[in-house]
Amino acid sequence: MRALVSEPGQRIRLADVALPRRPRECLIRVRLAGICGTDLQILQGYAAFAGIPGHEFVGVVEEVASRDDERWLGQRVVGEINVGCGTCDWCSGGVKEHCQDRTVLGIRARSGAFAEFVSLPASNLVPVPGDMADDVAVFAEPAAAACRILGQIALPSDIRVAVVGDGRLGLLVTQVLLRAPSRVTLFGRHPEKLAVARGLGIADTHTGVRAEFDRSFDVVVDVTGRPSGFADAVRLVRPRGTVVLKSTFHDHDGPALSPVVVGEITVVGSRCGPVRPALALLSSGTVRVEPLIDRILPLDAFEEAFAAARTSLKVLFRPGEEG
């Protein structure tokens, strides 16, 4: 099959590779795959990943490994991206995303979705509602990551919440959070992305973080993917408030942490989330994604795709198509 292959220290390339068949797993033909900030970080060396990146996809199951899984054949699916060992305490408790021996689609020891096919266990698959477009379903994984925050912190209706970062994940996080408190303030750096945000019903947007907002929020979510975003979040949050950290980046040094101590701030790391609730939010239109899509490209246009993904909101691959 054709796939994009990334290796640390080398430029990503299009290659013909073997099908990613794994024992006891399903083979899924990828219909669409989304480029995420983490993919751009991986291209710069984050997580020292070697292989096929990509962890946001929607596809159709083409092969299964057992009679039990036959009901998946032909199903349109999205997937949970963590595959655990199945036996450790974390896996037994249903939290395979913290299994020490996990693989992660396109991020850790598992071929990802910038390819014609991916492999995942049936237990990782979630069926897509029949009336949901592919270019909505492909947002299931990042929308799930946004939903994760709801499982980590309480959000009463009078809480003051800010999101720092007007990128693809920032706009999903803000939409998800707007379900709970009456108001969420979005800080960004890109007037055109903030305009998209307002089109999505995010009324309170600001270009840049100004001193008048310092210490003004109970909860601030950093989805910038940059150390300076964390510093902005720390100045926006009130003493003893909470900063939710969504950003991972390839960097040896991070932001200074003394302000976290002085303000007695709680920082909560937040990663993958539940896919089914995310699909429900996408299905109901509570979270809208169409305005985020900048372009849909074949795999061989990967250079254009990654360049566009660095500045625009969401770029999708359609691996079945040639450019």
Integer Cα distance of 90 and 81 in angstroms:
16
Which residues lie closer than 8 Å to 322 by C-beta, 6 or more apart?
A: 298, 300
Contact assessment for residue 291 and residue 200, using Cβ atoms and an 8 Å cutoff: yes
CB of 192 to a second copy, least distance (A): 27
Position 318: which residue type?
Answer: R
Q: How far is CA 110 from the centre of its chain?
A: 17
Q: How far apart are the C-alpha atoms of 32 and 16, rounded to whole Å?
A: 19
CB of 24 to a second copy, least distance (A): 25
Task: For residue 302, give Cα distances in angstroms to 5, 182, 189, 308.
Answer: 11, 40, 26, 10
**Smallest distance from the beta carbon of 311 to a second copy, in angstroms?**
23
Structural tokens at position 168: 């693809």
Nearer Cβ to a second copy (131/158): 158
Q: Which of 44, 53, 34 is nearest to 294 (CA)?
A: 34
Compute the least distance from the CB of residue 30 to a second copy, in Å: 25
Residue 186 Cβ vs a second copy, minimum distance, rounded to whole Å: 20
Partner residues linked to 30 by β-bridges:
59
In the complex, least distance from residue 61 CB atom to a second copy, rounded to whole angstroms: 29
Nearer to a second copy, 198 or 271 (CB): 271
Smaller CB distance to a second copy: residue 103 or 312? Answer: 103
Distance in Å, CB of 312 to a second copy, minimum:
24
Nearer to a second copy, 66 or 258 (CB): 258
Q: Residue 126 forms beta bridges with which residues?
A: 78
- Tell me whether residue 206 or residue 250 sits nearer to a second copy (CB atom): 250
Is 20 or 37 the residue whose CB approaches a second copy more closely? Answer: 37
In this structure, are residues 314 and 289 in contact, taking their beta carbons and an 8 Å threshold?
A: yes
In the complex, the smallest distance separating the C-beta of residue 273 from a second copy, rounded to whole angstroms, is: 11
User: How remote is the C-alpha of 311 from its chain's centroid?
Assistant: 16
Please say whether the beta carbons of 296 and 321 come within 8 A.
no
Nearer to a second copy, 248 or 286 (CB): 248
**Residues interacting with a second copy, by CB under 8 A?**
46, 90, 95, 98, 100, 152, 215, 227, 230, 239-240, 245-258, 260-271
Interatomic CA distance for residues 49 and 59, integer angstroms:
23
The SS3 of residue 60 is strand
Closer to a second copy by Cβ: residue 179 or 240:
240
